[in-house]
Amino acid sequence: MAEAKELSAEEADRYMEEVMGFTPRMFKVINTVNPEAGKTFADFYNSIWKDAALSKKVKELIFTAIGVANMSPRCLIHVIPALKAGATTAEIFEAVSVGVIAAGFVPNGKGIPYAFEYAAKVLEIADKYSKGEEWEYLLPPKFDHGIH
């Protein structure tokens, strides 16, 4: 029996981009150690996000709104696959508006005023992505554990 070719990190990144519409930052690291995990995650992701009763676009907009409501910078990336699935600026605006209002109902959350910042960030990312400009949804982590 022929042995299966091992996936490279670059191939796993490309596979995730193709299947998911983006490569999560954490998988850009994980794929260097275990590219098969990235492929498996992408397949799992696609099993939920693929077009079905709701379109991929709608699901990505929902998740973007959830990111705004919970003020989760890591969830804001979902605006990119929403755009790739055909989301318009008006649809993104409505989705993040729902997220802003939902922020008022998140137990122990910071609330609506702070969620506006996340909604504005989503709109900024969408605008820059659409123009082909550099964008960032989250600054790279800084590891400072007080050891100097």
pLDDT score at 113: 93
Per-residue pLDDT of the chain (148 residues; tens, 9 = 90+): 556 679 999 999 999 999 999 999 899 999 999 999 999 999 999 999 999 999 999 999 999 999 999 999 999 999 999 999 999 999 999 999 999 999 999 999 889 999 999 999 999 999 999 999 999 888 766 766 555 4
**Helix 35-49 and helix 25-33, axial crossing angle in degrees, nearest 10:** 140
Domain parsing of the chain, residue ranges: 1-50, 51-133
Q: Is the pTM of this model over 0.95?
A: no
Do residues 83 and 135 touch, judged by C-beta distance below 8 A? Answer: no
Kindly report the number of other CB atoms within 10 A of residue 26's CB atom: 11
Please state which CATH number belongs to domain 51-133.
Answer: 1.20.1290.10
Residue with tokens 């993104």: 92
